[in-house]
């Protein structure tokens, strides 16, 4: 069986930094941007480690504004 890898894409301009996705991630690979903010002044969520996402989409499910898209790819 192959292993799944995921990629998280956050719409930074729509993200309001509610932190729900950070809490929901079972692998703890999401965080709010430290000093960077979007045009509305919010610290947005970002993926901290690109190689560890398993594509579970827990972050996208809990996002109240639909700012997160998760792509999955099966590796052989």
Question: What is the set of domains in the chain, with CATH numbers?
Answer: 3-75 (3.30.70.20)
Contact (Cβ atoms closer than 8 angstroms) between residue 26 and residue 39: no
- Model confidence at 73, pLDDT cuts 50, 70, 90, reads confident
CA distance 27 to 34: 19
- Model confidence at 44, pLDDT cuts 50, 70, 90, reads very high
* Predicted pLDDT of residue 75: 77
CA distance 27 to 54: 8
How much is the pTM?
A: 0.87
CA distance 18 to 9: 16
Backbone angles phi, psi at 24, to 5 degrees: -75, -20
């Amino acid at each position: 069986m192959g292993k799944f890898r995921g990629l998280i894409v956050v719409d930074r301009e729509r993200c309001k930094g509610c932190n729900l996705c950070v809490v929901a991630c079972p692998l703890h690979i999401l965080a709010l941007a430290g000093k960077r903010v979007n045009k509305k002044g919010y610290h947005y969520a970002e993926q901290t480690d690109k190689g560890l996402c398993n594509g579970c989409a827990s972050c996208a499910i809990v996002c109240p504004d639909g700012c997160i898209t998760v792509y999955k790819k099966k590796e052989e």
